[in-house]
Amino acid sequence: MKTATPEIAEQRVILSNVSWQTFEQLLTELGNKRGTRLAYNEGLLEIMTPLGPHENSNRFIDDLIRAIADELNLNLKKFGSLTLKRAKKLKGAEPDSCYYIQNEPLVRSKQEIDLNNDPPPDLVLEIDITSGSMDKQPIYAAVGVPEFWHYNGNKLEVFVLEQSSQEYQKVNQSPTFPWMPLDIIPRFIRQSLVDGETVTLRAFRAWVREQ
């Protein structure tokens, strides 16, 4: 009898006892033109290389978010895997995608973000299909990201940062898009694998207009 082989969507290496200076040095030496993404939390360093299923999901969710913004006439500022870090808290990460929506006017003219002066992204997206990744919630909480999306290949979960506790709480709807059922994103991802991305995006736009 054949057994199903788990889908490998990311390659991850997690190292311990890594200094903040080493993390900063890696960011500098690796530069911006790379496929790997780094995350750091008080001595733990994760190096993640996305594979096909990971990047396909990331790019298609990005297309869906951009379609929503277009249909609702929302100005959207996309910063992809922008490095978000707080040196004093020894925390940093590079999300799969991040967006300025509510705070878009504050960063509209900027191509570089300085978290000492600029607000954090309003929304970050993390894809974790293979599992075994570092918990990014404490990192994004330290950065002050209000809304955190986590997609595991089957389900989209949304977390909101509680100001009193500075911890994320799981919620049943996105504060940014409260009219959108959370299962709609996975549904259209699955549809894209059958009908193709262009056709599915057209159907998704029509669905958004109906809402």
Q: Is residue 98 part of a domain?
A: yes
57, 129 contact by CB (below 8 A): yes
- pLDDT tens digits, 113-163: 999 999 999 999 999 988 778 899 999 999 999 999 999 999 999 999 998
* Range of the structural domain that residue 198 is part of: 52-210
User: What pTM value is reported for the model?
Assistant: 0.91
34 is a domain residue: no
Please count the structural domains in the chain. Answer: 1
Q: Which CATH number do you get for residue 73?
A: 3.90.1570.10
Question: Tens of pLDDT along 87-122?
Answer: 999 999 999 999 999 999 999 999 999 999 999 999
Q: 2 pLDDT exceeds 60?
A: no
